[in-house]
Homo-oligomer: A and B are copies of this chain.
Amino acid sequence: MTAANGTGRARTLVVAATIVSGLILTAVFSQLHAKSAAAEGQSRERYLPEYTADGDLILPKNFEKWVYVGSPLTPNALNGGKANFPEFHNVYMQPWAYEEYQKTNVFPEGTIMFKELQLTIPGQNPDGSRTEPSGRGYFPGKLNGADVTVKDSKRYADTGGWGYYNFNHSEPKAPTAKVKPKMECGYCHMANAKKDEVWTQFYIRLDH
């Protein structure tokens, strides 16, 4: 072995070791990034509205685990036997949108307000109420469809930045829904909802 040969082999080995280390580090960093992204997805999944190729809204997924904000109740029996929204209106929004709203006091783009309707368990009284060990009143029963609004200032410019959808007032909920014209839903929200077309007057943790 000559000095030149020895030095050459040393350089080759060092270069090879460096390349291998580099490849391992690249692989590890990729995995690190992927794991963080996946965990982030689980923890702070930023669920956004999803649309079909035709532009219909797809029924939002896992809404029942979102942040609940309130349940106005309009019993059928107090509304001529057929309330416009029968009967409990259980309203949810995405956790990320709730967090952002609490910080900024503004509903961020992509906010979904999901109103799941739920019938009361039929009651014995003319007002539709029933008596249970906890008292006389209204008790949630069968699910009954959903109404959904989506904040997107560009897509829904003619209804104040919110799109209005109905996924049936019965079960099962429709898998997709077409946007409603302004006079079917938006006009009433625009006229009466306290803040940015949302009924914050009924959702105490949003009423600020």
Tell whether, in the assembled complex, residue A78 and residue B137 are in contact, meaning their CB atoms are under 8 Å apart: yes
Asked whether B83 lies within 8 Å of A137 as measured between CB atoms, the reply is: yes
Q: A173-203, CB under 8 A of B: which get 1 and which 0?
A: 0000000000000001001100000000011
- Mark A101-145 against chain B: 1 for CB-CB distance below 8 A, else 0: 000000000000000001001000001010011111111111100
Which residues of chain B are within 8 angstroms of A40 by Cβ–Cβ distance? 39, 43
The answer to whether the Cβ of A157 comes within 8 Å of any Cβ in the partner chain is: no
Minimum C-beta distance from A4 to chain B (A): 8
Q: Which of A9-25 contact B (CB under 8 A)?
A: 9-11, 13-14, 17-18, 20-21, 24-25
In the bound complex, what is the Cα–Cα distance between A41 and B27 (angstroms)? 25
Closest to A8 in B: B6
User: How far apart are the CA atoms of A45 and B31 in the complex, in Å?
Assistant: 22
A 130-168 binary contact with B (CB < 8 Å = 1; else 0): 001111111111110000000000000000000000000
- Distance in angstroms from A20 CB to nearest chain B CB is 8
Count of this chain's copies in the oligomeric assembly? 2
Task: Give the nearest-CB partner of A21 in chain B.
Answer: B21
- Find out whether the CB atom of B39 lies under 8 angstroms from the CB atom of A71: no
Contacts of A136 in B (CB 8 A): 74, 78-79
A-B contact pairs, 12 of them (CB 8 A): A3-B3, A9-B10, A10-B10, A14-B17, A39-B42, A68-B90, A71-B71, A72-B132, A73-B138, A89-B134, A118-B204, A133-B191
Beyond A13-B13, A40-B43, A141-B204, 19 extra complex contacts between A and B, CB < 8 Å: A1-B6, A6-B6, A6-B7, A17-B18, A25-B28, A39-B39, A42-B43, A64-B205, A68-B92, A71-B90, A72-B137, A73-B137, A75-B137, A78-B127, A79-B137, A83-B134, A83-B135, A118-B204, A132-B192
